[in-house]
Amino acid sequence: MTGGPIAPAELIERIWERDSTVWTGTGEAGWLGWLDEPVHARERIAEYRAVAARVLEGVDDVVLLGMGGSSLAPEVLRRTFAVERFHVLDSTHPAAVRALAAQLDPARTLVVAASKSGGTIETRSHLEHFWLRAQGVAARGSRFLAITDPGSDLERLAREREFAAVVYGEPTIGGRYSALSPFGLVPAVLMGIDLDRLVASAEAMREACRLDRSPGLELGLALGEGWLAGRDKVCLGEAPGGFGLWIEQLVAESTGKQGKGLVPAPGEGATAPGAASGSAPAADRQLAEVRIPEPHALGSEFFRWEFATAVAGALVGINPFDQPDVQAAKDRTGAILEAVVASGAAPDVAPVSSEAELLAQARPGDYVAVLAFVNPTPAVEARIEAAADRIRGATGLVVTHGIGPRYLHSTGQLHKGGANNGLFLQVVDDRGPELDIPGRPFGFGRLIDAQAAGDLEALRERGRRVARVRLDELA
C-alpha cells in the first residue's frame, strides 16, 4: 500500500472509491469492474436466458473451449451442479482433444469459445478443430457461440462465420475476476442453473462487503497478515466442487509477483503430515475456509474471495490485477514452435534431473509443485494426486499439483514471479498419434510439448529448482 497501513474501515471505503493507491497506484482502478458485476449480472439475466433458449435448440451437449479465467469458473459450476452434458476443454493433449470430440455429435453439440483477448492459442486451436469437425453440419455457425471482449479477433471471426451469438465481457474485469461476468454466467445458464439464485447470492455478499464487518475484508486481512507473518501457504482443505482450482488461479496469479505471493494449496491441512492431532499450524501455513453450504452459494463465495484477494494484495504490496510473468512461458513456447516449424524437429521434453535430486534440494518453508503435461483422464489424474501425496508424506512440505497447460494460466504466474521457494517437478507422457490443428503448421502434440518445454525454460531462467520426469517413472 502506498502511504503505509490503512485502517480496515478506511480500506473498505477506498476500495469502493476505486482508489488505486490502496495498492501500488499503477492503474489498478481500471480493473475494478468486478466490484459492480453482481449488479450488472442481475440486469443481464434476461439477455443470457434469451441467448440460451436460442442456441440450445436441438442441442444434446455443450463443450466450452477456454483457459484460466474463461474455464475454471465454468468447471467449478459444472462439478458443483453435477452437469453431465456440459464439457470443459482446457487441455492441448492430442489424446484429450480426440477423446472428447469422439463423444460428441457435431450436429447436436454447441461449441462455446470463451476468451477475453480472443487470441488465446489453446482456445483458438480447439475452435479450429471443432469448426472443421462440423463442416458437414447445415448452418454450422448456429452451433457456435463466442464469449469475448468487444473488438477482439474472436468477435471478428464469430461474425465472419455467423456464430449463433456473441456475448460481450466487461473490459474492466480481468480474467481471474470474471466468474460473475458472462464468462461464468453464460455457461451457468447453458447448464440450466438458476441464475436468479446464483446472482442473488453474489449480490448479498457484495452488500456485505461494504460493511465494517465485511466477510471479504476479514478473509483478506487474514490472508495478508498471514503472509506478513511468514505463513505464505494458504491451506484450503477439501474444497467442494473443485473450488480450489478457481482459488488457485485467483490467489496465485493475483499475489505471486515481485518475489512475493500466497501459495494456495487445495487439499492441504494446516499441520504437516505426521504431526500429532491438535498440533499448532506449521510455521509457514494458514488455514482458509471455503463456505459453500449449498450450490447456489457459489455466487457469494466467488465474490468473497475476489474481494479478499484484493484486500490481501494491498497488504502484500502488489498490484493484484496484473500478471507480468505469465507472458514469459508464452514467449518461450512461441520461440520453440517457430524452431519446430523451421526445423521439423520435435520440442525437447527429455527427462531433466530426477525427482530424488530435486527433493534433495528442499529447504524448510519450501513447497513442491507437480506440473503434469499429461492426458488428464481420471486414472492419470489419480496417479498424479497419489504422487503428490507420496511427496507430501516424504518431505513434510506443502505439495500442489496442476495439469498443463491449464496451470500456465493459473499458478504459473506465482511459480515464476513469486518467492524462490518452490520445487517444480514437471511430468510428461506419451502423446500418442499427432492431431493436426487446422490452419497451423504444427499439431496438438507439438503444441503441448512446446508448452512444457517453454515453461521449464522460463522457470530455469528465473533460477528455479526444476526436474522433468516421464509419467511412467513416477512411483
For 257-305, the DSSP string reads: -TT---EEETT--SS-TTPPTTPPPPTTEEE-----SSGGGHHHHHHHH
Asked if 184 and 73 touch (Cβ cutoff 8 Å), the reply is: yes
Instruction: Give the residue among 141, 168, 138, 142 at the shortest CA–CA distance from 155.
Output: 168
- Write down the pLDDT at residue 332: 87
Residue type, 35: L
Instruction: Give the residue among 162, 166, 163, 165 at the shortest CA–CA distance from 152.
Output: 166
pLDDT at 465 over 70: yes
The full length of the chain comes to: 475
Residue the block writes with cell 502434440: 445
Rounded-to-integer distance, Cα 254 and Cα 310, Å:
8
User: For residue 3, what pLDDT band results from cuts at 50, 70 and 90?
Assistant: low
Asked if 420 and 260 touch (Cβ cutoff 8 Å), the reply is: no
* Residue % of the chain over a pLDDT of 90: 91
Asked if 154 and 118 touch (Cβ cutoff 8 Å), the reply is: yes
pLDDT tens-place string over residues 278-326: 778 899 999 999 999 999 999 999 999 999 999 999 999 999 999 988 8
Asked if 110 and 147 touch (Cβ cutoff 8 Å), the reply is: no
- Write down the pLDDT at residue 201: 98
Region 440-457: mean pLDDT is 96
pLDDT at 2 over 70: no
Instruction: Give the residue among 231, 410, 202 at the shortest CA–CA distance from 305.
Output: 202
- Write down the pLDDT at residue 347: 95
Region 457-465: mean pLDDT is 96
- Write down the pLDDT at residue 391: 97
Region 51-59: mean pLDDT is 98
- Write down the pLDDT at residue 4: 58
Domain 35-193 and domain 326-473 have a common topology: yes
What would the CATH number be for the domain defined by 35-193? 3.40.50.10490
Q: Give the contacts of 360 (CB within 8 A, at least 6 positions apart).
A: none
**CA-based torsion, 316, 317, 322, 326: positive or negative:** negative
* Residue % of the chain over a pLDDT of 70: 99
Residue the block writes with cell 497506484: 25
The 3-state DSSP class for residue 463 equals coil
Q: Which residues pair with 418 in a beta bridge?
A: none
CATH class of 326-473: alpha beta
Region 91-105: mean pLDDT is 98
**Average pLDDT across the chain, whole number:** 95
The 3-state DSSP class for residue 470 equals strand
pLDDT tens-place string over residues 249-283: 999 999 999 999 999 999 998 887 777 667 788 99
pLDDT at 199 over 90: yes
Chain CA centroid to CA 174, Å: 12
Q: How buried is 274 (Cβ within 10 angstroms: 0-12 exposed, 13-18 middle, 19+ buried)?
A: exposed
Q: Where are the domains of the chain?
A: 8-31+200-316, 35-193, 326-473
Residue the block writes with cell 515453461: 455
pLDDT tens-place string over residues 353-372: 999 999 999 999 999 999 99
Asked if 467 and 357 touch (Cβ cutoff 8 Å), the reply is: yes
Rounded-to-integer distance, Cα 116 and Cα 173, Å:
9
Chain CA centroid to CA 288, Å: 19
pLDDT tens-place string over residues 207-220: 999 998 899 999 99
pLDDT at 232 over 90: yes
Rounded-to-integer distance, Cα 337 and Cα 283, Å:
43
Cell representation of residue 238: 477439501
pLDDT at 423 over 60: yes
- Write down the pLDDT at residue 277: 66
User: For residue 30, what pLDDT band results from cuts at 50, 70 and 90?
Assistant: very high
Q: How buried is 333 (Cβ within 10 angstroms: 0-12 exposed, 13-18 middle, 19+ buried)?
A: buried
User: For residue 9, what pLDDT band results from cuts at 50, 70 and 90?
Assistant: confident
Rounded-to-integer distance, Cα 408 and Cα 391, Å:
22
Give phi and psi for 264, each to the nearest 5.
-70, 135
Cell representation of residue 146: 463466442
pLDDT at 1 over 70: no
Tell me the whole-structure pTM to 2 decimals.
Answer: 0.96
Instruction: Give the residue among 306, 248, 310, 255 at the shortest CA–CA distance from 76.
Output: 248
